[in-house]
Amino acid sequence: MTIKNIAVLTSGGDAPGMNAAIRAVVLAAHHYALPTIGFFSGYNGLIEASSTLLTPASVNGIIHRGGTILKSARCPAMLTEQGLKSAAATLRKEQIDALIVIGGDGSFNGLLALNKYWSGAIIGIPGTIDNDIDGTDFTIGFSTAVNTGIEAIDKIRDTAEAFERIFIVEVMGRRSGHITFNVGIASAAEQILSFENFSQADEQEKLSHLAKEIKQAQHNRHASYIIVIAENLWPGGAVQLAKQLKQTANIDCTACILGYIQRGGSPVAKDRILATKMGVAAVQALIAGKNNVMIGERNNQLLTVPLDVAVQHKEKVSESLVSAQESILALTAQ
């Protein structure tokens, strides 16, 4: 297939570095004399035919900006046949030969579904703070989200130390523990609770264990105690865990939910560079005839991964991180 016109959109949850990826796609396409159309608000822009021509001038000065100049959104209509047909019709009307989507697994599943109704080439660029895409060491936005979490907990630690308090800090990640373990270890949290070391079936046992460890730390006159917990893990979240520790062990805890603060902000250098490399590689992959793939990076080497492989969620948090926390760091912190 000869590529004459490229389209790009950002879909799902925003991630720091998405703008850097858009910029790289546009500049690479311009280098190869390929016009680039940007669709607004994720797949909604395809369905509603809301687009703009992107030029080098359009992406000047955006590499450092969080969010996405193309906006992003969820799109329930892409789960329907009519929505997919409408999106495909827009691509045909605009004479788009290839579509690049920057997003996570939901966005990639949308691409795979769209390909049943449209014959153009499709490429995915992994942009999600959750780092839950298979086939790449890191996703765009993950490093910034981790740094944001660390900065927040460092500040919380100051207050915890000053008042000798216990904080339960809930971080984002959906169903992935990458942010939880990386933030928890880097901020020297006394306890880390994530999908890798907790099951709801063990709730009461874990509650008793936490209470015992906290009381031991208090006995040893530790001035502060930080528990980092993954969202969607503990029934009722950090607030409920704090209530249960109070009710069952008379332990006062303060729950702090970082939430969307981790999705915003200027991307760190690592995300800007990763996004730039992946954006350029996506355009080059299209020119080379690649289709139905995601751009990934392993051991600092760019590669392509089949889209249906990228969304399988087989890759988990490094066992070395989990083991280090469980067998050494948590015990040493007492």
pLDDT in tens, 52-108: 999 999 999 999 999 999 999 999 999 999 999 999 999 999 999 999 999 999 999
- Reference 144, options 233, 72, 71, 67; nearest CA is 67
| 322 has a pLDDT exceeding 80 | yes
Terminal-to-terminal C-alpha distance of the chain: 62
Task: Tell me the pTM.
Answer: 0.95
Give all strands of the β-sheet with 191-193 in edge-to-edge order. Answer: 191-193, 225-230, 166-171, 254-257
Q: Of all residues in the chain, what percent carry a pLDDT higher than 90? A: 89
CB-count burial class (<10 Å; 0-12, 13-18, 19+) for 179: buried
Is 14 catalytic? The answer is no
DSSP state of 67: S
| 332 has a pLDDT exceeding 70 | no
- pLDDT for 330: 73
- pLDDT for 324: 87
- pLDDT for 108: 97
How far apart CA 275 and CA 31 sit, in angstroms, is 17
| 110 has a pLDDT exceeding 70 | yes
- pLDDT for 285: 98
DSSP state of 75: -
Phi and psi at residue 302, to the nearest 5°:
-75, 145
H helix or E strand, kind and range, residue 298 = strand 293-298
Alpha-carbon dihedral sign for residues 22, 23, 27, 33: positive
- Reference 180, options 191, 166, 194; nearest CA is 194
How far apart CA 20 and CA 14 sit, in angstroms, is 12
SS3 content of the chain, % helix, strand, coil (to 5): 45, 15, 35
- pLDDT for 331: 59
Which tokens is 125 given? 């660029």
CB-count burial class (<10 Å; 0-12, 13-18, 19+) for 189: buried
Alpha-helix residue ranges (DSSP H) falling in the chain: 18-31, 43-48, 81-93, 105-114, 142-163, 178-186, 203-219, 237-249, 269-287, 307-310, 319-324, 330-332
pLDDT tens-place string over residues 241-266: 999 999 999 999 999 999 999 999 99
Provide the 3-class DSSP secondary structure of residue 191.
Answer: strand
pLDDT tens-place string over residues 132-149: 999 999 999 999 999 999
Tell me the pLDDT band of 219, cut-offs 50, 70 and 90: confident
Q: In degrees, to the nearest 5, what angle opens at C-alpha 287 toward C-alphas 281 and 292?
A: 75
Provide the 3-class DSSP secondary structure of residue 144.
Answer: helix
Tell me the pLDDT band of 150, cut-offs 50, 70 and 90: very high
Contact indicator for 58, 22 with CB cutoff of 8 Å: no
282-291 average pLDDT score: 97
Cα 132 versus chain centre, distance: 7
| 309 has a pLDDT exceeding 90 | yes
Rg of the chain (C-alpha set): 22
Directed axis angle between helix 105-114 and helix 81-93, to 10°?
A: 70
User: Which residue of the set 130, 137, 158, 271 is catalytic?
Assistant: 130
CB atoms within 10 A of CB 73: 17
Q: How far is CA 301 from each of CA 48, 88, 297, rounded to the nearest angstrom? A: 37, 33, 5
How far apart CA 57 and CA 90 sit, in angstroms, is 25
- Lowest-confidence segment of 153-162, 195-204, 268-277 by average pLDDT: 195-204
- pLDDT for 289: 97
- pLDDT for 89: 98
Q: Which residues pair with 298 in a beta bridge?
A: 301
